[in-house]
A and B are shown apart, each in its own frame.
Chain A
Amino acid sequence: MKIAVLIKRVPDTELRFSIGGDGKSLDQAGLKYDMSDFDGYAAEVALRLKEAAGAGEVVVIGLGPDGVPEILRKALSMGADRAVHLTAAEVPVDGMSVATALAADLVGQGYDLILFGRQATDTGHGTVGAMTAARLGLPCVTAISQLNISGGTGTARRELEGATETVSFPLPAVLTIDEGIARARIPSLKGIMAAKKKPIETRPAQLGPVRLTVKSLELPPERSGGRIVGEGPDAVPELVRLLREEAKAL
């Protein structure tokens, strides 16, 4: 089985970060980059499928600036076989632009599965996987939490609000991976050394037109202090009133 995993390089937002002077991007000073978490789960899913089959190829593909190969090499050190870097000065916020470039590179390559993370941990749009599938004319299952492949058919489970949906689909297909399916493995030191010798092809990304732009980026307002509305059961009516009228939570 030949599997493509699309990997996005994202700022490590679990660390401290701040908004840049332009008011619509992150301040680059001191920013560290990493693989988007969901893409790490997708890489893990691909590696497990290959390991279970005892054969196959896992190709990791990333689109973006100079820092992308370092992130791709992380996936190679986890065990992926080779990588493709689609070069672009920046990753457009418009998912369709990115999907156009990815589809142009994926088409005709004979992939049985094309895996994405459910969404990127920076922008969180969750559109590129489905849009790429549409561009390729392939079936697409989003946000899957379990996967079985047998012959030319796959079954995937999706967690819905209060229910679980199981979907079957023919290969080739595009899947986007939710958390909970598999934790990304920690690359071994030997894996890191082996990754240095694995090939990374580089070619320019054929991005589509960019029609979305970010107007502003703001941090959530600081939480103001709590308020005590009373004590004991007597306070309940007032609390309910405030929740309904002031917080509009009810």
Chain B
Amino acid sequence: MSTAGSGSRFAGVDFYDFDSLLREEERAVRDTVRAWVDEHLMPIIGDCYIEGRFPRQLIPGMAELGFFGANLPEEYGCAGLNNVAYGLIMQELERGDSGIRSFASVQGALVMYPIHAFGSEAQKTYWLPRLAEGTEIGCFGLTEPDYGSNPSGMITTARETADGWLLNGVKMWITNGSQATVSIIWAKTGAVDDPSSIRGFIVPTSTKGFTGRDQKGKLSLRASDTSELHLQDVLVPKDAMLPAAGGIKSPLMCLTQARYGISWGAIGAAMACYDEAINYAGQRVMFDRPIAQTQIQQVRLADMLTEITKAQFLTLQLGRLKDAGTMTPQQVSLAKRNNVNMATECARESRRLLGANGILAEYHSMRHMANLESVYTYEGTHDMHSLILGQAVTGLSAF
């Protein structure tokens, strides 16, 4: 039996008829995002990465197709998708680039989600449609220079005054920070040793005393803005507080949403690398035969295919649990930890298979490889997720 077809358009990876487990609209959503990435992102992403520039011109198109907060309800201008379809959006965006997926993750899971989950009706009605339309860009201020894996220790404060809340502090590693028009800032309303006093605030970035500066010198996520936020006597009205948020649990709930999306996203990055590896291996001739015909490269490809396939089923079930309302944060930890590590390995192996060409931006694996080092580290480092799982199975906390 002979095989033809160029495979020039991205076709995903489906060795186990995974598609048959997806509903029709879930496949349709995935295909929409896949087509958008092929058409609008792939032609420019290499240059954006080299130039260290987020492709802002893509925001209106992403918004028009409904990529932001797509799993939130239609009454707030969102698409009202289930969580599997939402996950597939993240998979496809990260097939393009982790930075672009990060942008959508932050907008949806870290800005729109907390407003939807903890906001007043007035806050939801005002902010959610604007964020869905991309006319407002959000960022999420939780991490601080000295409080990464331990966000409960934060020292940013919010003090109630006659005029409203007065915020002071510094946030770091904030995706979208310098281009955001609005931020969700987490701060302590009580003593700095009292994590139960943590509250969330909707803070427009144009508020006096608020500055966002790009962090320079990044070797990863170069097509994404990563910023430092400085809040110096930033005064916001009393109704800027998210009324239903309280304690460290609230921002952690947001992170669970974002980590869920990352679990899917990592599969997309891994698929991109596998796809590139298999195409390259079939074309690159060395010692008078395609390198795909060598055992060492076949082992690489078999390993990638196996790990991607396992991750697909793991993550689909996670999505079904999320849709059923029974997903636990520990299950998200397992998927985030496994999938990002898996994707990082795929990216590295693909880059190696590509030989010298693999270091060029014209190919995608090294960009994914460098990006995934950030993804490995953010939203709960790989190590922290190990400890969360350790705690879950032993009942003993090691952190």
What residues of chain A have their CB less than 8 Å away from a CB belonging to chain B? 13-19, 21, 27, 30, 32, 70, 73-74, 77, 186-190, 192-193, 195-196, 219
Interface size class of B (residues with CB under 8 A): 20 to 34
Bound Cα distance from A32 to B64, whole angstroms: 27
Provide the residues of chain A in CB contact with B35, threshold 8 Å: 186
Contact indicator A17/B3 (Cβ below 8 Å) = yes
Residue ID in chain B nearest A16 by CB atoms: B5
Known A186-B65, A196-B25; judge A15-B32 contact (CB<8 A): no
Known A73-B24, A189-B79; judge A15-B5 contact (CB<8 A): yes
Bound Cα distance from A21 to B74, whole angstroms: 48
Provide the residues of chain A in CB contact with B21, threshold 8 Å: none
Contact indicator B8/A193 (Cβ below 8 Å) = no
Partner among A16, A32, A74, A188 whose Cβ is within 8 Å of the Cβ of B4: A16
Contact indicator A190/B79 (Cβ below 8 Å) = yes
Q: A16-B3, A189-B89 are in contact. List 17 more A-B contacts (CB 8 A).
A: A15-B5, A15-B7, A15-B9, A16-B5, A16-B7, A17-B3, A18-B1, A27-B1, A77-B28, A186-B35, A186-B36, A189-B65, A192-B28, A193-B74, A193-B80, A195-B25, A219-B4
Counting from the closest, the 3 A-B pairs by CB-CB distance are: A189-B66, A189-B79, A16-B5
Contact indicator A187/B32 (Cβ below 8 Å) = yes
Smallest beta-carbon distance A172→chain B, Å: 32
Contact indicator B3/A193 (Cβ below 8 Å) = no
Provide the residues of chain A in CB contact with B4, threshold 8 Å: 16-18, 219
Bound Cα distance from A3 to B29, whole angstroms: 26
Known A186-B35, A188-B32; judge A19-B1 contact (CB<8 A): yes
Smallest beta-carbon distance B4→chain A, Å: 5
Provide the residues of chain B in CB contact with A73, threshold 8 Å: 24, 28
Contact indicator B5/A13 (Cβ below 8 Å) = yes
Smallest beta-carbon distance A41→chain B, Å: 15
Partner among B9, B11, B32 whose Cβ is within 8 Å of the Cβ of A192: B32
Contact indicator B29/A15 (Cβ below 8 Å) = no
B46-76 Cβ-contact flags toward A at 8 Å (1 or 0): 0000000000000000001111001000100
Provide the residues of chain B in CB contact with A17, threshold 8 Å: 3-5
Contact indicator A14/B3 (Cβ below 8 Å) = no
Contact indicator A189/B2 (Cβ below 8 Å) = no
Contact indicator B28/A187 (Cβ below 8 Å) = yes
Residue ID in chain A nearest B67 by CB atoms: A189
Smallest beta-carbon distance A52→chain B, Å: 19
Provide the residues of chain B in CB contact with A14, threshold 8 Å: 5-9
Question: In the complex, how many residue pairs between chain A and chain B have their CB atoms under 8 Å apart?
Answer: 74
Bound Cα distance from A14 to B35, whole angstroms: 14
Bound Cα distance from A187 to B74, whole angstroms: 17
**B81 touches A (CB below 8 Å):** yes
Bound Cα distance from A77 to B31, whole angstroms: 12
**Residue with the greatest number of chain B CB neighbours at <10 A, chosen from A188, A189, A219:** A189
Provide the residues of chain B in CB contact with A74, threshold 8 Å: 28
Provide the residues of chain A in CB contact with B32, threshold 8 Å: 186-189, 192
Provide a sorted-by-A list of 27 A–B residue pairs whose CB atoms are within 8 angstroms: A13-B5, A14-B5, A14-B8, A15-B7, A17-B3, A18-B1, A18-B4, A19-B1, A21-B1, A30-B14, A32-B19, A74-B28, A186-B35, A186-B39, A186-B65, A187-B32, A188-B65, A188-B79, A189-B29, A189-B65, A189-B70, A190-B74, A190-B79, A192-B28, A192-B32, A192-B79, A195-B28
Provide the residues of chain B in CB contact with A21, threshold 8 Å: 1
Contact indicator A192/B29 (Cβ below 8 Å) = yes
B20-40 interface (Cβ within 8 A of A): 24-25, 28-29, 32, 35-36, 39
Bound Cα distance from A139 to B2, whole angstroms: 43
Bound Cα distance from A160 to B200, whole angstroms: 65
Residue ID in chain A nearest B2 by CB atoms: A219
Provide the residues of chain A in CB contact with B6, threshold 8 Å: 14
Provide the residues of chain B in CB contact with A186, threshold 8 Å: 32, 35-36, 39, 65
Smallest beta-carbon distance A234→chain B, Å: 30
Provide the residues of chain A in CB contact with B66, threshold 8 Å: 188-190
Bound Cα distance from A189 to B62, whole angstroms: 10
**Residue with the greatest number of chain A CB neighbours at <10 A, chosen from B8, B9, B70, B79:** B79
Smallest beta-carbon distance B132→chain A, Å: 10
Provide the residues of chain B in CB contact with A15, threshold 8 Å: 5, 7, 9, 11
Contact indicator A193/B5 (Cβ below 8 Å) = no
Provide the residues of chain B in CB contact with A19, threshold 8 Å: 1-2
**Residue with the greatest number of chain B CB neighbours at <10 A, chosen from A13, A15, A19:** A15
Provide the residues of chain A in CB contact with B25, threshold 8 Å: 192-193, 195-196
Bound Cα distance from A17 to B2, whole angstroms: 8
Bound Cα distance from A196 to B1, whole angstroms: 39
Smallest beta-carbon distance A128→chain B, Å: 25
Smallest beta-carbon distance B43→chain A, Å: 15
Bound Cα distance from A32 to B29, whole angstroms: 16
Provide the residues of chain A in CB contact with B74, threshold 8 Å: 190, 193
Residue ID in chain B nearest A218 by CB atoms: B2
Contact indicator A193/B81 (Cβ below 8 Å) = yes
Provide the residues of chain A in CB contact with B80, threshold 8 Å: 193
Smallest beta-carbon distance B100→chain A, Å: 16
Bound Cα distance from A208 to B32, whole angstroms: 36
